[in-house]
Structure 1
């Protein structure tokens, strides 16, 4: 039954009790959700001076507040999404894949594992920004980008 539900109905069913939550998490983890879902908009907002995560149903024209596992999405920047997963970046530019339905999170390798990315440190030794450099190696020019310069 769970595999035929729209995502919002699946979230509602998962909030009934622990055994239903376990069943709905398993369904989502195995990718057995209904293949054609009505699109939803995931967003962050301020609620009572704290950041929260919302889900807007286009079908119902209604907004819902989501409870996500820590670290919560509002403490991160949402970079993009694909196939139900969200790519987020924290204050140190560390990237994570987050499934907002199951709560599963996967830390991606640090941005400094990319050869062209070098950290720039402030006076206290903390990473202030990253410098991206691109060098072709054969025509003798180097392009350096500063993400803070726009």
Structure 2
């Protein structure tokens, strides 16, 4: 999920991410006509959220976004999901949304049933449950 600011409100939307670890960036394909591009131009701080709910693993990434018209990068990132929005990578309305991460936080929790058992045991024993690993990373 990509979360942007829209005035006093926050807006989240699902998008397909392309990670480029060597570039310290996360990329998305976006459309020139979308509202998120205007939001990012005014408020470039964004949040990305990734979840593997079955595995109980979660990541939140904070960073700065910028919209780019890099045709070579668009062709590099072009994949089947993009065909739902555009006919081909040469569509002039496609833009790159580049997120440069500043920090990230992850949670790696035990499965749902085990989590419920741990929470129930903690409630009875007046202690805090061990809900797995959690850490923050600064870039």
User: What's the TM-score once normalised by structure 1's chain length?
Assistant: 0.22
Structure with the higher fraction of residues in helix conformation: 2
| Greater Cα radius of gyration, structure 1 or 2 | 1
Question: Which structure would you say has the larger RCO, counting Cα contacts within 8 Å and 6 or more residues apart?
Answer: 2
